[in-house]
Structure 1
Amino acid sequence: MDSPYQLLRAGGHLKRWRPVSFAAGQTIFSPGEIAVHVYLLLEGRVCTLRLLPNGTYLAGRPVGPDIFLGELNVLTGETSLVKIEAVTPCRALQITAGEFMEIIRSDPALSLWEAQYCAQGILNYTRQVVFDFYRPAKERVAEYLWTLTQNRGQPLAVDKEALAAILGSTVRTVNRYLKELRDDGVIALAEGGVVIVDPARLQQRFRP
């Protein structure tokens, strides 16, 4: 399947976009923000960060390039549910929300690409939900800690109530799994949170 850049070029739409850049760590969208622009990421990677009840963010896996940013909010008319942040220096193209909608309405090939992209996202989410439903909570605790350590410094400030809510479990269960990881030498308790002692073994707890 052609990339969105190739489709925009084939449709003669590139002249309507203007180049922009983002520094590593720069926020592209914030939770609750109304998208007035859509971006096409040409180079670099970004990640989505979900706001947790304790006011901190849980980062997803980095994605990009060759993706649109902000188009789902423009298409649905909804504000952003997550924070989108540049993981690396990024180069992108920018267009207003109104112009993006004009292009989508006028270009069947680009509309099909966007529909397939959205459908794939829904399918991936459904698979993850089904996978998590049958996966032991202790594996998800390990994955949560691993995700935190990839996006923050140590020690990790772990909100046990927030983690229990994410897992659909209880604080007591979270404490039990953290104790198991500590007793096995995978993590250690330190002032201010948790320190990952053995990252490789932590990964083994949730990856085959």
Structure 2
Amino acid sequence: MTSLGTIPALRDLPPDRLADLGRRARPARFAAGDTLRRPGDRASDVVFLLTGTVVATHDTASGGEVWPARWTGPAIADKPAVLSGEPSPTGLRAITAATAGLLPAAGFLRLLHDEPQVRAHVLAALARDALAGRRELLHAVTLPAVARIASCLLDQDPQRRTAWPGTQDELARVLGLSRVTVNRALSRLTRAAAIQLTPGGITVTDRTRLAAFTAPGIR
């Protein structure tokens, strides 16, 4: 599975080590909506996500669903669930068609032990994710919906034409907001000419105007 080399954490592995990893990782394909893991299950395999998008899922008390994390290939999906060895409070689901290599958790741990560059990359990614999660929690507690959405869009890769390629419902699930709240906030940002809603998703048209909505006091 030579395409494993597209995953940033594995990019610098020697060719023979990468080839060996490819032989041990089981190829897998998922359709949109397929469940990779249910909440409460242990992560028996690490998911080397090659293409597509998967999300962590959690059901709310009101019968809704939130997506506290999201990965688009090439990437390693849900590393904490694998490394903890404990039942995960969140499930894992493909929201687009996806391809992946599945490596048993023990094999992933050996890889981290044997390959310092992979270990360093994974640790740095975990640190970034932890800080991002801390920031998102602070935003959820302290910011109104329009500011949270503006901040989320600003955090996306500015080189991408479409800042959010998904639907408004998907954005609501990622942020833990209602669909109505997201729709109202996006309408406000659109009227301010900060964003544009397109068939392909949400495009940032003016980052300065969008950033103004994250300022303290914005409601």
Task: Give the equivalent residue in structure 1 for 2:45.
Answer: 37
Asked whether the equivalents of residues 39 and 57 of structure 2 are also in contact (C-alpha less than 8 Å), the reply is no
Question: TM-score, normalised on structure 2?
Answer: 0.62
Superposed displacement of residue 53, structure 1:
1.4
User: 1:3: which partner in 2?
Assistant: 8
Q: CA deviation at 1:9?
A: 5.4
* CA deviations over 1:84-114 (Å, ceiling 9, x no partner): 2111110111111111111111111111111
Name which one, 1 or 2, has greater alpha-carbon Rg: 1
Aligned partner of residue 71 in structure 2, secondary structure: coil
Deviation for aligned residue 1:137: 6.5
Query: Aligned equivalents of 1:83 and 1:5: distance in 2?
Result: 25
Aligned equivalents of 1:83, 1:203: Cα separation in 2: 32
1:24 aligned residue = 32
Q: CA RMSD in A?
A: 3.8
The answer to whether the aligner puts 1:94 opposite 2:102 as a matched pair is yes
* Alignment-derived partner of residue 53 in structure 1: 61
The answer as to whether partners of 1:37 and 1:70 remain within 8 angstroms in 2 is: no
CA distance in structure 2 between the partners assigned to 1:51 and 1:113 by the alignment: 31
CA spacing shift, 1:148–1:32, aligned 2, 3 Å: farther
User: Number of paired residues?
Assistant: 168
* Compared CA separation, residues 124 and 138, structure 1 to 2 (3 A): closer
Structure 2 gaps of 5+ residues are: 1-6, 152-165, 192-209, 214-219
CA distance 1:203–1:29, change in 2 (3 Å): farther
Q: Distance in 1 between matches of 2:73 and 2:146?
A: 33
Please show how residues 131-170 of structure 1 align to structure 2 within 5 Å: 131-136=139-144, 149-151=168-170
TM-score w.r.t. the length of structure 1 is 0.64
Structure 1: where are the runs of 5+ without partners? 157-165, 168-177, 179-185, 188-193
